[in-house]
Structure 1
Amino acid sequence: MSTFNIDEQRFLIVSAVEHIKRRIFDHFTRFEPRTLIICGSGLGGIEEKVAIKPAPLSLPYEEIPGFKSSTVPGHQGRLVLGYMNNSPVVLMCGRLHYYEGHALHEATFPIRVLNELQSMKYLIVTNACGGINSTYKTGDLMCLNDHVNLPGLAGQHPLRGPNFDEYGPRFLALSDAYDLELRKLLFQKKDQLGLERTLHEGTYTYVCGPTFETRAESRFIRMLGGDVVGMSTVPEVIVARHCGWRVLALSLVTNECVVDPPASALDESPIPIEQGKATHEEVLEEGFLASIDVQCLIEAVVEEL
């Protein structure tokens, strides 16, 4: 894992910005994006909502200085720049995770870079998650209104190290991390679109992964007040808020976490221990099934930004 060096990071940010601006200049007459959309596992179909005229610009991560490669199935690993409902947007088709071996400053590096475009104001982030709240069912959506950053409380924090004073304060308040007006807009658009899929509002618990939670860990997260649990989103939200962006985050419940204790070895007729076991294939499948509703919701929100 790389060591954080703020001067080196500033150099990489400048290099990445120059590369992206050069590609934008070669491709568009004028392009000043306002919104970054990060596509979660199985939710990359949002790219289909980007207009084909003018043609979008696709930039593989490996071409951009300082960007790391995405290694997770369902994460394509490229920036897509284009228009959604006449609004200029950037899509991260494939996010970067801590569990892939990326340091948190590397996983959030794209936000620092895009902030230098000056026009960026909004982050819309999607993710796949496990349902902890007993009322949440597979296929439900949840709008984040708060989070629990378990790795951050233990010292693995995206703002750890020297502070980028040119971006934000050393001690960042996160009591307003998830923009109230954007959350209201999301629910309004859901009603206007007549979507039948359930949309909750609640607390996301961030864990590092890559293992899915044990039964005891799921009960622990429920005790902390977490409604869902996942392996992404919070580092990106923190850095976006540090840059002064407004944030909207949307989770798709792809599995219901198992909270019951495991069967006892002394039980003569135990419940199969595999019951409720989560898989990444399940995550991708649920993402595919929900993708149309998620795409419609995000497109409707972006139209107002």
Structure 2
Amino acid sequence: MSSLDRANEAVSFLTKSLPEGLRKPQVAIVCGSGLGGLAETVQSEPRAEFDYTSIPHFPVQQSNKVAGHAGKLVFGLLGQKIPAVLMVGRAHYYEGHSMEQVTFPIRVFKQLGVDTVVLTNAAGGLNSDYSVGDITLLNDHLFLAGLAGNHPLRGPNDEEFGVRFPPLSDAYDLELRRHVHRAWKEITTPQTSRKLHEGVYAFVGGPTYETRAESRMLRMMGADVVGMSTVPEIVVARHCGLRVLAMSLLLQDKAAGELSALLEEGKAGHEEVLEAGRAAAVDMQKLVVQTLVNVFGSA
């Protein structure tokens, strides 16, 4: 069965249970670690939720689900009238899934009629100008795994989705990024200490956090932030012709080869990552919603 057939089967399952107004979402949002609160910004009615385990061919997280990743699709209205689908938690490559599997939801979004995908994640900061709690608007990436051949588009090309050799020089939509900067001015005050940056994201396979030497290497290669998700999804989204907006919430400081600024003795742990980011996540959620309201309008 082709990727197109699998995606269409998943879409058929979803749409038969969706209210009419939610069957053609305009935007899809992938909620990263600790950012599942975005789902609570969706209007209470109409609304529909699906556990990943119920959706045909959908990648399912390990049974001991990663903390901060609920594992469900939420359909509803953002800003009172923007039909959206939110992916609360994602399957990761480090769990043992293939690149094709972790990016399958993007194919489903395309077949649902989505035009724009917003990807969020929790990441480590490599740039010494960045601080824990800052937000980085991605404008490029380093995909070392992809350059080495572990790539989500490897194999026969799905012509129904896109061309054999898709360019990625325009992967991060300039107009959408401009909207983010405008939205940031609207939701912050002069007293806001948190900063919004633009930068480069480096994808690493995980699940271990990077060593000091690895962090220094990635920084020297031009990366500002580092994480274990997002880039494979961006590649497939662009292959499908979707507009891409991606943001990282900085929850660790690896700058200048230092260990995590959040944790005693520099030991990075997932629970501490989530706890440290709760307040920052609220601001990031506001930023995503305000950006989409500005882009698509509200009632």
When normalised by structure 1's length, the TM-score is 0.89
Q: Which amino acid aligns with 2:13?
A: H
Q: Which amino acid aligns with 2:157?
A: N
Aligned pair partner of 2:50 in 47, 50, 59? 59
Greater radius of gyration (CA): 1
Cα distance in 2, alignment partners of residues 259 and 275 from structure 1: 16
Cα distance in 2, alignment partners of residues 102 and 188 from structure 1: 37
Cα distance in 2, alignment partners of residues 152 and 255 from structure 1: 25
Mapping 1:194-209, distance limit 5 Å: 194=188, 196=192, 197-209=194-206
Mapping 1:13-162, distance limit 5 Å: 13-24=7-18, 27-28=19-20, 31-54=23-46, 56-70=47-61, 71-85=65-79, 86-118=81-113, 120-162=114-156
Deviations 1:74-118 (A, max 9, x none): 101110000001100000001111001111111011111121123
Aligned CA RMSD, in angstroms, stands at 1.7
Cα offset for 1:260?
3.6
Cα offset for 1:192?
1.3
Cα distance in 2, alignment partners of residues 259 and 205 from structure 1: 16
Q: Which amino acid aligns with 2:94?
A: Y
Cα offset for 1:278?
1.4
Question: Who is 2:278 aligned against?
Answer: 288
Asked if 1:179 corresponds to 2:173, the answer is yes
When normalised by structure 2's length, the TM-score is 0.91
> Higher mean Cα deviation, 238-247 or 7-16?
7-16
Aligned pair partner of 1:214 in 211, 215, 220? 211
Cα distance in 2, alignment partners of residues 260 and 105 from structure 1: 33
User: For 2:277, what is the secondary structure of its paired residue?
Assistant: helix
Deviations 1:222-242 (A, max 9, x none): 110000000000011111111
Cα distance in 1, alignment partners of residues 84 and 74 from structure 2: 8
Cα distance in 2, alignment partners of residues 181 and 261 from structure 1: 35
Distance 1:135 1:23, change over 3 A: same
Q: Which residues of structure 1 form unaligned runs of 5+?
A: 1-6, 263-273
**Paired residues of 1:129 and 1:251 also in contact (CA < 8 A):** yes
**Paired residues of 2:22 and 2:76 also in contact (CA < 8 A):** no
**Paired residues of 1:41 and 1:287 also in contact (CA < 8 A):** no
> Higher mean Cα deviation, 219-228 or 281-290?
281-290
Cα distance in 2, alignment partners of residues 23 and 106 from structure 1: 24
User: For 2:265, what is the secondary structure of its paired residue?
Assistant: coil
Cα distance in 1, alignment partners of residues 275 and 258 from structure 2: 27
Cα offset for 1:275?
2.9
Asked if 1:167 corresponds to 2:158, the answer is no
Cα distance in 1, alignment partners of residues 89 and 238 from structure 2: 20
Cα offset for 1:11?
3.1
Deviations 1:27-84 (A, max 9, x none): 3456320100000100100011100122x10010010000121231110111000000
**Paired residues of 2:22 and 2:75 also in contact (CA < 8 A):** no
Q: Which residues of structure 2 form unaligned runs of 5+?
A: none
> Higher mean Cα deviation, 88-97 or 11-20?
11-20
